[in-house]
């Protein structure tokens, strides 16, 4: 569903959203990258000033609900190094291949995340980009290009392809950061009331954004996260943990932080705990699995998701998270996303979307892949 507004209502750490259960604070984590100390800081503010949970978003960010002292929380987030630019805090939306530099891929794109983030924050005009516009950096494994970010780069064997709305444009770029910033600036010039490139009705007119760009093949969406024991190319281990319904209790986040390993929040609302020696990985697995993190790639938790629903969202007619959990054992291989109204927040690009009616659920979308 396309929604165009004159103003950008997307929440951040400073401009918060007043939800039914209190202030909602969203913290951008470019590339989903977060240190153990930062995870610990988020767990503490969620416990002290919020609902004691961290919600992982479909863009690899974190949000806190029911926040009581917004200024205090913003101060703590800034102190943790998670608010480098007050003017650009909501536009630092970068999704990147979560395992890049550790397992597979054509190139390590982690430095690009930092460069692009710095370039976005350094360009005053990009403060007006809007909180829903996002960038993608895919290292060639085709995991995030299919998420249909507004603009991105996909690393092929023969070069770096520019993508627009999840489609290969046929353009190869050399300076990745400069090109992505240039496209974003051009979008600001021509966007009208639109906040996303995907909202342009005529995707055939990509040349308006960049001369020569053609709407080529779309990348297939990926809907399941990397889960379990993942051997890294350097002999160490990454643990991939699915987080049921993307809701990470602060006490579990605190335990994860205690491992003191680099962390990645993935756009599938899951967590990677990286660079572990085997003995540490084994011990972490034994501690975290009983706390509710899911390391089994066959778990039904990987095939179900939900929006916030009641009581956190006033638009909802049902507690969709509870209903999604109750439906966990249903015998289906299709990913199902439960939502409380037709806005269908957080819907994955493929699978079934079920909307609450007040008297059960009906299919809002049941196609395999959103066209
Ligand atoms: S889909 Fe509707 S009920 Fe669910 S979070 Fe969005 S607005 Fe709220």
Q: Are residues 200 and 148 in the same domain?
A: yes
Closest atom of ligand 1 to CA, residue 314 = 8
125 with 273, same domain: the answer is: yes
- Which of 313, 317, 319, 354 best tests ligand 1's pocket when mutated (most atoms within 8 Å of CB)? 313
- Residue 356 forms beta bridges with which residues? 361
CA 212 to centroid of ligand 1, rounded, Å: 38
Q: Say which CATH number the domain at 26 has.
A: 3.90.480.10
Whether residue 370 is predicted with pLDDT greater than 50 in this model: the reply is no
**Cα–Cα distance measured from residue 338 to residue 335, given in angstroms and rounded to the nearest whole number:** 10
Check pLDDT > 70 for residue 257: yes
Residues 6 or more apart whose CB falls under 8 angstroms from that of 340 comprise 307, 308, 309, 310, 313, 315, 316, 317, 318, 320, 355, 356
Categorize the per-residue pLDDT at 365 as very low, low, confident or very high, splitting at 50, 70 and 90: confident
Distance CA 173, CA 175 (A): 6
138 or 9, higher pLDDT = 138
The number of domains in the chain is 2
Residue 368 is assigned to a structural domain of this protein: no
């007119």: which residue's tokens?
Answer: 205
72 found inside a domain: yes
Alpha-carbon distance of 48 to 250, in angstroms, equals: 10
Alpha-carbon distance values, 263 to 40, 252, 324 (Å): 11, 14, 27
Helix segments in the chain, DSSP class H: 36-49, 70-79, 110-122, 176-190, 250-258, 278-288, 320-326
Peptide bond just before 142 cis, omega within 30 deg: no
Same domain? 281 vs 334:
no
| Class of residue 56 by CB neighbours under 10 A (exposed 0-12, middle 13-18, buried 19+) | buried
pLDDT of residue 6: 67
Kindly give the distance from the C-alpha atom of residue 308 to the centroid of ligand 1, in angstroms, as a whole number: 6
Per residue in 69-87, pLDDT (tens digit) is 999 999 999 999 999 999 9
Q: Does some domain include residue 270? A: yes
Dihedral angle of Cα 233, 255, 271, 91, to the nearest 10 degrees: -120
Taking residue 147's Cβ as centre, other Cβ atoms within 10 Å add up to 23
Query: pLDDT of 98-142, one tens digit each?
Result: 999 999 999 999 999 999 999 999 999 999 998 999 999 999 999
Segment 212-234 mean pLDDT: 91
DSSP 80: T
| Mean pLDDT, all residues of the chain | 92
Please tell me the predicted confidence (pLDDT) of residue 195. Answer: 86
Q: How far is the CA of 82 from the centre of ligand 1 (A)?
A: 27
Tell me whether residue 3 is in a domain.
no
Q: What predicted TM-score, i.e. pTM, was given to this entire model?
A: 0.93
Confidence class for position 40, pLDDT limits 50, 70, 90: very high
Q: Same domain for 90 and 176?
A: yes
Ligand 1: which of 26, 247, 306, 345 to mutate, judged by most atoms within 8 Å of the beta carbon? Answer: 345
The per-residue DSSP string of 242-295 comes to E-GGGEEEHHHHHHHHHT---EEE-TTSEEEEEEE-HHHHHHHHHHHGGGT-B-
Domain final position from 298, 315, 348: 298
* Of 274, 298, 322, the domain-final residue: 298
Phi and psi torsions of 179, nearest 5°: -65, -45
Q: What is the mean pLDDT of residues 137-156?
A: 96
Bridge partners (DSSP) listed for residue 162: 153
Work out the pLDDT band at 190, boundaries 50, 70, 90.
confident
Shared-domain flag, residues 21 and 35: yes
Using a pLDDT cut of 90, give the percent of the chain over it: 77
Is 233 part of any domain? yes
337 within a domain of the structure (yes/no): yes
**pLDDT value, residue 1:** 43
* pLDDT interval class at 173 (50, 70, 90): very high
Does one domain contain both 256 and 358?
no
Torsion of CA 149, 62, 13, 253, to 10 degrees: -160
Single out the residue of 244, 222, 243 nearest to residue 349, CA to CA. 222
Among 11, 317, 343, say which to mutate for ligand 1: greatest number of ligand atoms within 8 Å of CB. Answer: 343
Residue 32: give the domain boundaries. Answer: 8-298
Q: Are residues 333 and 207 in the same domain?
A: no
CA 306–ligand 1 middle distance (angstroms): 9
pLDDT of residue 371: 31
Q: Shortest CA distance to 135 belongs to which of 60, 201, 199, 221?
A: 60
Report the percentage of the chain scoring pLDDT > 70.
95
In a domain, 243, yes or no: yes
195 by DSSP, 3-state: which? Answer: coil
pLDDT value, residue 213:
83
Residue 369 counted as domain residue: no
Beta-bridge mates of residue 55: 63, 247
CA distance 21 to 18: 8
What's the confidence (pLDDT) of residue 15? 87
179 close to 185: Cβ distance less than 8 angstroms: no
107 and 241 in a single domain? The answer is: yes
pLDDT at 204 > cutoff 70: no
Tokens found for residue 214: 């053609």
């Amino acid at each position: 569903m396309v929604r165009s507004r004159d103003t950008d209502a997307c929440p951040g750490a400073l401009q918060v959203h007043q939800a039914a259960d209190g202030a909602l604070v969203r913290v951008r984590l470019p590339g989903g990258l977060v240190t153990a100390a930062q995870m610990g800081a988020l767990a503490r503010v969620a416990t002290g000033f919020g609902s004691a949970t961290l919600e992982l978003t479909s863009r690899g960010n974190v949000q806190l609900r029911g926040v009581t002292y917004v200024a205090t929380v913003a101060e703590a987030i800034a102190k943790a190094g998670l608010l480098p630019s007050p003017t650009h805090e909501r536009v630092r939306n970068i999704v990147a291949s979560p395992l890049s530099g550790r397992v597979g891929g054509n190139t390590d794109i982690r430095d690009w995340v930092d460069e692009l983030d710095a370039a976005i924050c350094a360009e005053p005009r990009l403060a007006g980009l809007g909180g829903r516009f996002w960038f993608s950096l895919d290292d060639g494994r085709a995991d995030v290009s299919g998420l249909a970010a507004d603009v991105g780069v996909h690393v092929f064997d023969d070069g770096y392809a520019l993508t627009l709305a999840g489609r290969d444009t046929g353009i190869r770029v050399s300076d990745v950061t400069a090109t992505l910033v240039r496209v974003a600036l051009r979008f600001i010039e021509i966007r009208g009331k639109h906040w996303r490139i995907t909202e342009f009705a005529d995707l055939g007119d990509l040349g308006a954004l960049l001369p020569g760009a053609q709407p080529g093949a779309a990348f297939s969406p990926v809907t399941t996260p990397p889960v379990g024991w993942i051997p890294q190319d350097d002999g160490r281990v990454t643990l991939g943990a699915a987080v049921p319904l993307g809701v990470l209790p602060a006490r579990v986040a605190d335990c994860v932080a205690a491992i003191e390993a680099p962390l990645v929040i993935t756009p599938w609302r899951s967590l990677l705990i990286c660079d572990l020696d085997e003995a540490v990985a084994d011990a972490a697995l034994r501690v975290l699995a009983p706390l509710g993190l899911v390391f089994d790639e066959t778990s039904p938790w990987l095939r179900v998701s939900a929006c916030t629903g009641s009581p956190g969202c006033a638009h909802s007619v049902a507690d969709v998270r509870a209903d999604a959990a109750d439906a966990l054992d249903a015998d289906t291989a299709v990913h199902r996303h439960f939502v409380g109204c037709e806005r269908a927040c957080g819907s994955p690009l493929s699978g079934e979307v079920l909307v609450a009616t007040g008297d059960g659920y009906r299919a809002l979308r049941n196609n395999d892949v959103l066209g």
